[in-house]
Amino acid sequence: MQERHTRPRGGGSQTGLEDGDRRSLMSLIFNATGLTIGAFSLLQFSSGNTLFASLEVLACIALLAAGRSVHRSRHLELWIYLYLLPTFAFILYIGLMPKASAAAFVWVYLIPVLSYLMLGKRRGVRLALPFMLLALTLHYLRHPLPSTALEWIDAGNAILCGALIVVFVHLYETRRAAAFAELQRQAQTDPLTGTDSRGHFKQELRRALKEAGRSQSPVVIALMDIDHFKSVNDRHGHDAGDHALRHVCDLLYQRLRTTDNLGRLGGEEFGLLLRNTDAASAMPLLESLRELICIQPLDYAGQTIELSATFGLAEWPRDGQTPDELYRCADRRLYQGKQDGRNRVIGESLAEA
């Protein structure tokens, strides 16, 4: 018996915001940082710091260019680290500059916010805490330790504020990621059967065909319809019908691989996506699924409800190149199976036989 498909539930994302949001945010951050540094370079020029101002101009140009490139990059994580590490190092440098004010330490509070936002909970805390501890150490190596009660109160306020920011950001990111994961799970999962939703199944089919196009490995899509399902609802009630749907899905999951997808396309119609499988290999599997549904009826409220299903399959690239072509081919064969008496698997139409 194959392991049943499992989906991640709750627990949250480990990468902060999701990909599209992170790209948009990184573009905004690159542009905003570049313009800010560009403005500071003008002040540096006016103060006579020509070398430092020139470096800031170069940094401004590089950041504005990165703001345009990050949307197309395949290596988003690399862009994030290339921004965060120099930025955090620069924040540490601000506090070490000869004429730096002790108030420059407040820039350290940006470190946990940016780390959690762009990297998520686990990687965010791993990056933020070392930089914040290093910033605190360097600050007190340059400035004398507090010597009076009032100075200790000021220092305690600054340190406590930083600690609370880390705690609050950590809690927020944990709950945000968990909420997003739950919304994503609900969007991808049929609430009654736990199978893929219609939209997610079609998304997985498109993804499988792209992968198959690169590897030239076959893919099979099969459409399955539970026979005479309306009579189950009419005779035993809709609750029995719901149990029947879940029962059939449980049976299918017993034989499907973890790499396969099962989706509810509507009512009693389901789709099966079999990767790295051709029609010759899919037919015995689908026949075994058909037989399994027949020999294991549903036991509902002391009643035995006999069930059966009809399958129509299509193979990529033999029967179609696109998801729509494969779906139409499988649907024609499913309809032919119904016309021929149901409870059967159709792998090719009569015109092709």
Compute CA 353 distance to the chain's CA centroid, rounded to the nearest angstrom.
43
Of 276, 273, 311, 275, the closest CA to residue 292 belongs to 311
* pLDDT of 43 higher than 90: no
Binned at pLDDT 50, 70 and 90, residue 351 comes out as: low
pLDDT digits (tens, 9 = 90+) for 139-169: 788 777 888 888 788 778 888 888 898 889 8
Place domain 198-346 in its CATH homologous superfamily.
Answer: Reverse transcriptase/Diguanylate cyclase domain (3.30.70.270)
Say what the pLDDT of residue 85 is. 93
Where do runs of H (alpha helix) occur along 47-109? 50-69, 76-96
Better-scored residue on pLDDT, 74 or 54: 54
Say what the pLDDT of residue 17 is. 57
pLDDT digits (tens, 9 = 90+) for 215-225: 999 999 999 99
Using CA atoms, how far residue 285 sits from 272, 273, 311, in Å, is 11, 12, 11
281 C-beta neighbours (distance < 10 Å), count: 13
Better-scored residue on pLDDT, 25 or 289: 289
pTM of the model: 0.62
Answer for the pair 60, 41: CB distance below 8 angstroms, yes or no.
yes
Instruction: Please report, for the chain, the start and end positions of each structural domain, with discontinuous segments joined by +.
Output: 19-187, 198-346
- Where b means 16+ CB within 10 Å and e means fewer, 312-347 reads bbbbbeebbeebeebbebbbbbbbbbbeeeebbbbb
Binned at pLDDT 50, 70 and 90, residue 5 comes out as: very low
Binned at pLDDT 50, 70 and 90, residue 352 comes out as: low
Signed CA dihedral, 199, 205, 209, 212: sign only: positive
Better-scored residue on pLDDT, 229 or 351: 229
Q: Give the phi and the psi of residue 248 in degrees, each rounded to 5.
A: -65, -40
Answer for the pair 115, 84: CB distance below 8 angstroms, yes or no.
yes
Q: Are strands 261-266 and 269-275 parallel, antiparallel or unpaired?
A: antiparallel
Better-scored residue on pLDDT, 197 or 15: 197
Residues 68-84 have a mean pLDDT of 86
Residues 70-87 have a mean pLDDT of 86
Percent of the chain with pLDDT over 90: 51
Binned at pLDDT 50, 70 and 90, residue 6 comes out as: very low
* pLDDT of 123 higher than 80: yes
Give the least confident one: 182-186, 334-338, 339-343, 349-353: 349-353
3 contact partners, CB below 8 Å, separation of at least 6:
258
Tell me the CA end-to-end span of the chain in Å, nearest whole number. 33
Of 284, 270, 289, 292, the closest CA to residue 347 belongs to 284
- Rounded CA-CA distance 146/129 in Å is 23
The dihedral region occupied by 11, where left means phi > 0, alpha psi between -120 and 50, and beta the remainder, is left
Give the least confident one: 43-52, 125-134, 233-242: 43-52
pLDDT digits (tens, 9 = 90+) for 297-341: 999 999 999 999 999 999 999 999 999 999 999 999 999 999 999
In the block, residue with structure tokens 């916010």: 113
